Amino acid sequence: MNFRCASIPALLFVVAAQLPAAEHAIRPGDSPQAVLDRAAPGDRLVFLPGVHQHGLAKHRAMLYVDKSIEIELREGATLKLAPGTTKLEADGEITTDQDAGKKLDDLQVGGRFDTTRPAVDGPEAYGATIYSIVTDSVGADGQPDTFAWGDGKIFDTPHKGVLITGDWQDLSHGVKIRFGSRTGHSLRSVWFVSYDGPEAYGIRIGHGRQKDYIENVRIVGKGTIDLNASHNAQPSGLVKDINACVLIHGRVRRVLVEGITMTDTMRSVMCYGEHTGEFLPGGKTGPGESFDAEDITIQRTRTLNPRGAAYLLGHPSHRGQLRNVKCNGNYMETGLTALEPNFNLDGYEVIGNVIKSDGQAIHCWRHSRNGVIADNLRVGDNTGKPVVVVNAPRGWQNPEPPVQRNNRNHLGEKQP
């Protein structure tokens, strides 16, 4: 009788497949990134009670996840961004696609912003300084167009009727701008220029353009992720990359975020795809590769964020697809919009959430489709604000109306 022996690699694979997943305890002071890097796919990381205070590691996150893993934050465990990790930067970032109807998109920014000036606070600013620039007249018979600008509240432009010269023009605090053309702009074209801090994340899954899918990641427990926005410079709310306690980005699928509390941040959870093509007005893209995210569940979490927002599902500056997202049974207290089904989102549930917000509760903003928004309760508002708003900026495709049922503003409803 002849016997054939299995190869050594095959035997090793069988043995490895039978080994139970390992559990790795992370104590305050340990490097969570070093522990995760040593862990095998399928292992479990446990943050033990205490304050786990860290700066940023890979891809601007306290913990970057690139494999199948379960992460538990035990009750009493807080993953916290160290104070002073992010600082105000002197280079400006232009946000241009607020108005997709521009004939010309030719603004450049230069100079060197004075970072010692007092920060401007307010919605969308987060302590950053935002310049609002708006074309306020269109020249006739070859005369130059003019613009208005301001560096205080967003859309507040007290300096009006400034002729466009085509050269560098001084604004304030060391900032200069230049238009590529003196004429030919649309009336009321809008640009914002932000001077702010860089982005930071608590736990990040994917960096946007990873070749292979990262899948089967669980972030669970009764602990807390604290982005410590009170003691770090923040990005403005208008730039491409903003802060979140959890970011799910690019080819990522089958993710669960459950039970944890998220606080002192710009957003609690953000998820979106990525695209390599040129970004065209109104959300379109040129030829390129799409890195999509899918099958994301966010449930029974708490967002305690009186100066910021909560969940962002899809993003117009990251134009891959996002599919099959459930954001159900969560509690949130926010100063700004709590929950945003946003761009390139296809198939979502927003069910059974309790929302206390000084801004919008649920805002379907830009194109999304195949959504169900049901049984959500808005609390703490007696002014009659709606629970759900559905619209888009000028030049963008509106969301497909979601299925809505039994969404209530508890105090805002008329009593019999």
Separation CA 341–CA 336 (nearest Å): 14
User: Rounded to two decimals, what is the model's pTM?
Assistant: 0.91
Contact 228, 201 (CB under 8 A): no
Separation CA 219–CA 21 (nearest Å): 16
Partner residues linked to 355 by β-bridges: 332, 378
DSSP string across 47-96: EPSEEEEE---GGGEEEEE-SSEEEEE-TTEEEEEPTTSS---SS-EEE-
Separation CA 2–CA 11 (nearest Å): 19
pLDDT for 359: 95
Contacts of 55 (CB under 8 A, 6+ apart): 62, 81, 82, 85
Sign of CA dihedral 225, 302, 293, 394: negative
Q: What is the pLDDT along the chain (416 residues), one digit of tens a residue?
A: 444 444 555 544 444 455 679 999 999 999 999 999 999 999 999 999 999 999 999 999 999 999 999 999 999 999 999 999 999 999 999 987 766 678 899 999 999 999 887 666 566 678 889 999 999 999 988 899 999 999 988 889 999 999 999 999 999 999 999 999 999 999 999 999 999 999 999 999 999 999 999 999 999 999 999 999 999 999 999 999 999 999 999 999 999 999 999 999 999 999 999 999 998 888 899 999 999 999 999 999 999 999 999 999 999 999 999 999 999 999 999 999 999 999 999 999 999 999 999 999 999 999 999 999 999 999 999 999 999 999 998 889 999 999 999 999 998 765 44
Partner residues linked to 193 by β-bridges: 94, 131
Q: How many CA atoms lie within 13 A of 68 on its CB side?
A: 11
pLDDT for 118: 66
Contacts of 364 (CB under 8 A, 6+ apart): 340, 341, 342, 371, 373, 388, 389, 390, 391, 399, 402
Q: Is 235 exposed, middle or buried (0-12, 13-18, 19+ CB in 10 A)?
A: buried
The neighbour count for residue 251, using CB atoms within 10 Å, is 22
Residue 353's nearest CA partner among 342, 341, 344 is: 341
Residue 131's nearest CA partner among 177, 197, 194, 198 is: 194
Tell me the CA distances in angstroms from 338 to 301, 306, 362, one per residue in order. 13, 10, 6
pLDDT for 2: 46
Separation CA 105–CA 41 (nearest Å): 46
pLDDT for 414: 56
